Amino acid sequence: MAELVGNVLVGQSGGPTSVINASVAGIVAEALNHPCIEEIYGGLNGVLGILQEELIDLASESQQQIRALRHTPGAALGTCRYKLKKQQDFERILDVFKAHNIRYFFYIGVPKTIDNDLSVTDHCPGYGSVIKYLATSVREAACDNEAMGQGDLVSIIEAMGRSAGWIAAGAALAKRRDHPYDPPHIILLPEIPFNQEKILEDIRRVLKREKYCLIVVAEGLVDADGNYLAADAATDAFGHAKLGGAGDALGEIVEANIPGVKVRVARPGLLQRAAAHSAAKTDSDEAFLAGQAAVRAAIAGETDKMITLVRGDTEHYTCETGLAPLTEIANGVKKLPREWINEDNVSMNFQFLRYAQPLIQGEITLPYDTGVPVYARLDKAQVDKVLPPYEL
């Protein structure tokens, strides 16, 4: 099949990660290699901006800024949670594509999610960095807790994770090999309904053995009836419940039931997914590769596919990119395998560790200026609009 000659459009969608911009950098870097690609445009704020014909010229950005995207958190093009619904929306998108000769469209909502819950792909870009940050924070909090505790300190760190425990589970990487008593002492996953009496017993047992009990709790922890431990009545645009507060809720339960105990709750919130200063090099590199692979696949005529990460079948970790039909991905969810959780329900076994450990390897050396990391700032030169305005 002959290569399509024309322009590229890239957009970003959904929640940012530490490495979603690395995929944009991969797309731009690869696109420059292909003569069939003329202009490289970015759509501002995902489909929201594309509907409004808000395009920027990515090819006119400096090499320096595109390179800086490889270590910049957030979503440099802006993102949205807008859901295309109306028939007119779809037609408008095609009109924008036609008006700007867009032959290749990459929408980076897929594959990237700190939640790591996409099917088919071995793991998702963004996941490795968030659990590296969390495992590092657990190790550091443990140094602090160890100094402060006298068998009376319960330290709670709330991890992101609405419906799956992938992120909270990743905190297990803070343990040294063959040191099962290392913190985190207790991991509370949405997959395991909260059993108050059992968990209080677990905490008391840890406090008998250690100076402190460090707990990592997923924000989406639910009770036996499926109710969130701490839910807010509000819901977001997709009808998902807005969460937050599982750590505080657990803290209150502990204080009310274990006399004399001190409770400390940390809720890093979105600092977790933005902590590029603690990103995993493996993760960032794979996100970049995914962007490059997407361009090559599109030019080869592939469409309606997602780039997947495929783990090599070798002892030493290797990872290549693959392709899977979007229809296969769209509504599937990859659950944290039950058999990767120990029988105690609050710790992860070697199968999980073998899976997750390679994903957090390597550190990134950031550029610093006057003591703080320097992140990319795009010029965002606007592409001239040629269509009439569009009513959302």
| Least Å from the CB of residue 41 to its own copies | 18
Q: How many whole angstroms separate alpha carbon 246 and alpha carbon 289? A: 36
CB of 87 to its own copies, least distance (A): 24
Point out which residues pair with 105 in neighbouring strands.
9
CA distance 154 to 212: 6
Burial class from Cβ neighbours inside 10 Å (0-12, 13-18, 19+) for residue 55 reads buried
To its own copies, the closest distance from the beta carbon of 370 in angstroms equals 6
Q: Which of 255, 287, 341, 230 is nearest to 73 (CA)?
A: 287
- Active-site residue among 89, 95, 115, 384? 115
The phi, psi pair for 364, rounded to 5°, reads -110, 130
Residue with Cβ nearer its own copies (223 or 232): 232
Between 242 and 335, CB nearer to its own copies: 242
By C-beta, is 87 or 365 nearer to its own copies? Answer: 365
Q: Active-site residue 144, yes or no? A: no
Q: Is 86 helix (H, G, I), strand (E, B) or coil?
A: coil
Please report, as ranges, the residues that interact with its own copies according to CB under 8 A: 12, 15-16, 45, 48, 72-80, 132, 135-137, 139-148, 150, 155, 157, 173-174, 177, 211, 244, 264-271, 273-278, 280, 357, 360-363, 368, 370-373, 375
Strands of the 186-188 sheet, one edge to the other: 153-159, 212-218, 186-188
Q: Which residue number, 1 or 372, has a Cβ lying nearer to its own copies?
A: 372
| Minimum gap (Å) between residue 7 Cβ and its own copies | 23
Instruction: Compare residues 203 and 263 and give the one whose CB is closer to its own copies.
Output: 263
The CB-of-175 to its own copies minimum distance in angstroms stands at 9
Rounded distance between C-alpha atoms, residue 234 and residue 45, angstroms: 23
- Pick the closer one to its own copies by CB: 120 or 148: 148
CA dist., res. 231 & res. 241, Å (int): 7
- Per-residue CA distances from 26 to 21, 56, 62, 296 (Å): 9, 17, 15, 11
Question: Which amino acid belongs to residue 63?
Answer: Q
CB of 15 to its own copies, least distance (A): 7
Cα(29)–Cα(32) distance, integer angstroms: 6
The catalytic site residues sit at: 115
